[in-house]
Structures are given as C-alpha cells and as structure tokens.
Structure 1
Amino acid sequence: MHQFDDTIIIPGLNTQLGLMFSEDQTATPAKAGTYFSAPYVDLSDYDHIVLCMSGGKDSIACLLNLIDMGVDLNRVELWHHDVDGREGSSLMDWPFMAEYNRKLAAAFGLPIYFSWLDGGFEGEMLKENSYSRPHHIETPDGLTTLERDTNRAKPGTRLKFPQVSANLQTRWCSSALKIDLGRRALTNQQRFDGKRVLFITGERRTESPNRALYQQLEPHFCDRRGGRKARHVDSWRPVLHWPEDQVWDALERHNVIAPVPYRLGWGRSSCMKCIFNDATVWATLRHHFPGSLDAISDYETRFGTTINRNRINILDVSRQAKPMEIEDRDAFMQAMKTDYSLPIILTEGRWVLPAGAFTKTGCGPS
C-alpha cells in the first residue's frame, strides 16, 4: 500500500476522528473537549457552515434540521465528493448522483462545491508502483488542483478493492475518496483562516455499533484555532441521535422526495456498487441492470482478491439471493442516466415513503 497515505495520513485521520477500530470494534479513548451528546449548537457562532452532502437521506436531513433551527442560509455551503472522479470512470457510483446533488442545492438556493481524487475510485485502486494522484477541489474562486508531495511519499501499489472493515486503512475508499478530500479542501483555502467553521456530516448511531460510539460535537482534525492560521473548525453530526423515522419525517415535512436509491428498494444511498452491499443488492444489480457487475468481477479475477471476505466472486454472490422487485418505474428509468430529470421537491400529490425505508438491506458503511 501507499507508504505515506497508509502509514501516516490515514492512521492520523483514524485517530483524530476516533475511528481507529480494531476488528473487535474497540475504539480508542475520546480526546478531550468532545461532546457525546450535542443535538443543538449556536449556529450564529460560525462564519461558514460546510455540509457534506452525499445525496442520501441523512445528509438531506442535516440540511433540513439546519433550516428548522433558523440557520442563515447565506453561511451554508454543500460539499460533494465525486467517488468515480471526472476522468471517465463509472465503476462504482450512481450515474446521476452529481447532477442530483447539483439540483438539490439549487432547490434550496445553496452553493455546492465538488471535489474528487483524480481518476476516482478506479484510479486509486489501480495504483501500481506509483504515487497517489492529485485532488481536485472546487472553490468559490474556481477549480484548484492539489498535487501530491512526492518528496514525502514513496510509490505504492493497491490492486485490490477496499475491504469491509471499520479500519480506514483497510476500507481505503472512505479515507482516500472522502475524508482526505475534505481535509485538504479545508486546509488549502485561505478563506477559512481566522474564521469559525462548522463542518457537518450525517452519520447516525443506530446505523452500526461503530457509529454508536461517535462524538456528536468535537474539534475537527483540521482545527487550528490556537495556531498561526487561527482556523477554528468544529465537527458536528446533528442527526447522530435520530432514529430513522425522524429522518423520513423531516423529508416529508419539507416535501423532499425520497432519493432514487431508496425508491428502488435500497436501504441506504451509498455508492451503487458499495463494497458493503449484501447478496440481495448484488442480485438486484445483476438482474435489473445487466452487465453492471462485469467490470468488478473482472477486476476480482485480475487481483485474485474479491470484495467478499469469503473469497466469492461478485457474480456468484449475486446468485445467492433473490433480487428485489422494483415497482417505481420513474426511479428505475432514472437510475442509469447521468442527467437528473425527476423533481426534487413535491409540488402536488401525496408524499410517499419509499420502498427502501426501514429495510435492513445491506448497503453502506459501518
């Protein structure tokens, strides 16, 4: 694995996030100054409110909660990490996800800034005796490309899928394609220096035993309030304590139509081909979206390492369960399109709870 990222950056992120779990799911002690329960904060204390918007129900609920709290929307901006990048790969994510988030932001009159690792998931996975690629960060002043410091790093090799684990060195997709992007976006924009920033993400404790241990409010690992740049950054998880019914209630009250993955039957809106998908989701992809698993299967054969920890090829995993029935034809027709043409906000008719609500279908991080 890449020596610098995997021995310095990622373990550091694990520790500062309180996410360095061993396989027995034992967390390191929480650092000082954190709050396990902090459902409310004084939003007027912050110059910038950055909301990481995945396009799933929980991050949308974070936005709606801010609105319910009376936030000044002029201080809010959305950030979305493009998992597949913008260099032509379409290996993992939903094709419409970037455009959906762009239209979601427009529906609430908010700016949205995209960021991605050059080559995305596929490019990082195919790293072979080479350096990690640059990060691309959208800012109010335009697109910034952040190169890697090859003086501090050594060439490395991945050539396998991230594995299902709470450890970010093993599940490198979360750290390399999302967490590290957010870190560099915060530390490489002078507009945050000398400012107070609230950095919001949408984890919920009921999703997994690991997330049940998260702190709700704490200094972000990019916080430098006592340093030369005087950058004050707090990390807040406003819906961390919410049960799922409270999330859907927020979407219904604000007439936000459920995102497409839930309408198809997915229990979570993560990547379309998330490594956490269970056999039912893989079966649904193989049945309703023929050919969508072929590239993954080919890579597994090439690497000699599968996504499944029992070393079963993804096509064989998909044959272990019955595919879900998809009844929402509009969502089905949208699923494989890059352009997003469905409404975001309900303007007429009755709000409908999606098929994926309250399901236990496995799809998403632990």
Structure 2
Amino acid sequence: MNTIQPTSDRFDDQVIIPSMKNSILNSQMDLFGGQENLIALEPAMPGVYFDAPEIDLDYDIAIVCMSGGKDSFAALKYLLDRGFPPSKIELWHHLVDGNEGSTLMDWAFIDDYCVKLSKAIGIPLYFSWLKHGFEGEMLKNSSKSHEHIVETPDGLIELPRNGVKVGTRLKFPQQAASLQTRWCSSALKIDVGRRGITSQDRFVGKRVLFITGERREESGNRAKYNQLEPHAGDTLRKSKNPRKPRHIDAWRPVLHLREEEVWQILADWELVPPVPYRLGWNRSSCATCVFNSDRIWATIGEYLPDRLEAISEYERQFGTAISRKGLTVAERAKLVKPIEIDDKEALLQATSKEYTLPIFLPNGEKWKMPAGAFGTESSGAN
C-alpha cells in the first residue's frame, strides 16, 4: 500500500443519521447545556442532511458523475470501499464541449480517458451533453438553447427543449458563485444530469443514488452544501401520488474530506494521478476554465498557445474579458511566469485526443504525488 503522510487526523466526528434513542439525545443535551446549544440531529427538511459521511446504501442503482478529476475518483472509491456492488454502478460523464466538433474548453484527452477508465474497472460509462456544447451555448444570439443528448443502455436519445426562451449570451460565463452568472456548470452539467434522470423510465420505481465529488474544503460556497438530499429528479418527496415515482438521493460522499485524504484514496487505489495534476494544475476542471489564475493562463500560453489564442479571439469578438478586472487572458498571461512543466509525458498527452497513458500504476511502480497537489493556483470553479 502506498502511504501519504497525513497532515491532520482523519475526520473524527461523524454525524449519526438520526435514529438515535431518546437516552442518547438527552445525554447530549446535558453535555452541551440544553436544547438551544445542541446541533439539530433531525434534518430541517425530509431527507436533507448537512453531514452524512456514512449512509444506508440500500439503492438499486448508483450513478457516479465522473469528471476524470481526483474528487470524482475518490467518490467512486469511497462507494466501492463501503461494499456497494460494482454491478449496480454506472459512470456518467458530461461532455463540456459537446460531441459536434468543438474543442474550446475541455482537455483533449478527457473523454477517451473516461472510456479507458470504464473499461479498466469494468463499470459502464454513459455520455451526456448539451448539443454543440459550451461554444454553442456561448454563441446563442436571439435564439434558443440546443437539445440535450443522453446516452442510455439502449442508445442515444435527443431531448427537445420546448420550454426554453429565446435569448442571447455572446460572452463567457463570469467568475461567480451564482449559476446564472457562471452558467457553464448549470447549462452543461446540472441540467443535463437532471434530464438524464427524468428522461429514462428505467429509474421509475427504483431507489437511485446520484453521486458527485464536491468538497467543503474547496470554497466557502461548497462548505455550505448538504451532504445528502433529494435530487432534483426525485418525485416521491414532491408529490403524494407521482405519475412516475422515483426515489433519487443526491450524495456527496467526499464532501467532508481534506485534500490529503483524497490523495491517499488515489494512492491506495494505485490510480495514476490524472494528467492536469501532473502538469501543475490543482484542479481537473476544463483546461481553459474561466476560473483559471493568471499563472495558469501563462502556462497555457507557454505550452498550449493555440488554446489561449482561441479564448483570446472570443474575448476580442465579444469586447468583454473573462476577468472582472477587464484584463484579457493574453494580458494576464504576461503578468507572471508560467509553471515549469517537467513531466513531458503528461504534456504530450495534453495535446492528444486519444488517451495512451496507464490508468493504474504498472506493476512495481511507486505512486508519486503530482506537481499540482496542494497547489494554490485557481484552475476550477469554487
């Protein structure tokens, strides 16, 4: 087993999902000085728990949203380590750039990487996307958003969006917590995932666990997330007699973990650190994420100049920079020195659509912490 020296004790105080007897509740009230000082054990809303690192895994299907980053891997391994059958798991990967030819935002290899991962671990993978992806949505001009495409066990389905209104974007998502302002997350991932649930009758009458890999340590905004709650596609807790009864829980199993614990999970699994971390990125979001720091843009300009130029061209076209300070990505790239990338193997992979590197460590090879681990350069939404 590969071991990372921990910098803190493992998460100690796990919240017990409320089924406690009155005697335990009363003893805690005595300990903390009365009801007013006791953290509520019963959820404010049915099925909602702020802390739920351990839950009853009595589900028919578990859907793991697989971005290809360390936290989605940790979420999958966390589920497997608790004995959930791999035969009941499926991976969902949202194609940020769509599947119609755009290469503006995401890493070139990431889609094939998820395919190779799926084959390596024997768990099925399904793609879903907003037709024409990020670029198509960004270029919306007095028009409607495109259709959703969802891959299912029986093939692709195209979902019309009759309810959407005509609108115009013609600018990048802005750096904000609001999903209306930072529309990429909602339009390209959250909405697509929701429709992936509601469009498939195979989830009717089933208990489904929808898993994502957010962590509270990443930002003040994520620190407020509930760890377990009904998913937007759930119907049983919205209606007494739903036409299509679905019990869908959204669980963030690694929400409480620190970064060193996540890397330990990957090391124990002997999973080769994903390419972005090997290049010095501290997150495996889109390569040209709007949250990238100046130094990340400088690094893209140094090693992947075509990617920087593609973003710069749209900033010029829109007359609006991604940064709220008004500086273009090209101007920001000139402010600082780029990261020095020593991992030439990972750098070569970054430019290739086909993923050719190992998924897991070759026999006898020692796991190594990637250059981007514990980094402070912003390279993903917070």
Same fold, TM-score > 0.5, yes or no: yes
TM-score by length of 2: 0.86
**1:182-220 CA deviation, whole Å, 9 max, x = no partner?**
010000000001110000000000000000000000111
SS in 2 for 1:77: strand
**Matched residue, 1:12:** none
Aligned length in residues: 335
| In structure 2, C-alpha distance between the alignment counterparts of 1:100 and 1:311, rounded to whole Å | 35
Q: Does 1:247 align with 2:269?
A: no
**Matched residue, 1:219:** 230
Query: C-alpha root-mean-square deviation of aligned residues, in Å?
Result: 1.2
**Matched residue, 1:286:** 301
1:343-358 mapped onto 2 (5 Å cutoff): 343-348=358-363, 349-358=365-374
| In structure 2, C-alpha distance between the alignment counterparts of 1:284 and 1:352, rounded to whole Å | 22
1:291 deviates by 2.3
1:127-138 mapped onto 2 (5 Å cutoff): 127-138=140-151
1:1-366 mapped onto 2 (5 Å cutoff): 31-43=45-57, 45-149=58-162, 152-225=163-236, 226=240, 227-348=242-363, 349-366=365-382
Contact 2:312 2:328 in 1 (8 A): yes
| In structure 1, C-alpha distance between the alignment counterparts of 2:249 and 2:314, rounded to whole Å | 39
SS in 2 for 1:182: helix
1:33 deviates by 3.4
| In structure 2, C-alpha distance between the alignment counterparts of 1:270 and 1:109, rounded to whole Å | 24
1:154 deviates by 2.8
**1:112-152 CA deviation, whole Å, 9 max, x = no partner?**
00011111000000000111101110000100011110xx3
**Matched residue, 1:18:** none
- Structure 1 segments, 4+ long, off by >6 Å, are none
The letter of the residue matching 2:372 is G
| In structure 1, C-alpha distance between the alignment counterparts of 2:114 and 2:47, rounded to whole Å | 33
The letter of the residue matching 2:182 is R
1:30 deviates by 7.1
Between the two proteins, what is the percent identity of the paired residues?
Answer: 57
Indicate how the Cα distance of structure 1 residues 125 and 31 shifts in structure 2: closer, same or farther if over 3 A, else same: farther
| In structure 1, C-alpha distance between the alignment counterparts of 2:78 and 2:165, rounded to whole Å | 44
Indicate how the Cα distance of structure 1 residues 208 and 86 shifts in structure 2: closer, same or farther if over 3 A, else same: same
The letter of the residue matching 1:182 is G
| In structure 1, C-alpha distance between the alignment counterparts of 2:193 and 2:44, rounded to whole Å | 21
Contact 2:145 2:164 in 1 (8 A): no
| In structure 1, C-alpha distance between the alignment counterparts of 2:171 and 2:227, rounded to whole Å | 33
* Rg larger for: 2
| In structure 1, C-alpha distance between the alignment counterparts of 2:185 and 2:347, rounded to whole Å | 27
- Larger deviation, residues 226-235 vs 73-82: 226-235
SS in 2 for 1:293: helix
Indicate how the Cα distance of structure 1 residues 73 and 264 shifts in structure 2: closer, same or farther if over 3 A, else same: same
SS in 2 for 1:291: helix
| In structure 2, C-alpha distance between the alignment counterparts of 1:202 and 1:80, rounded to whole Å | 13
**Matched residue, 1:20:** none
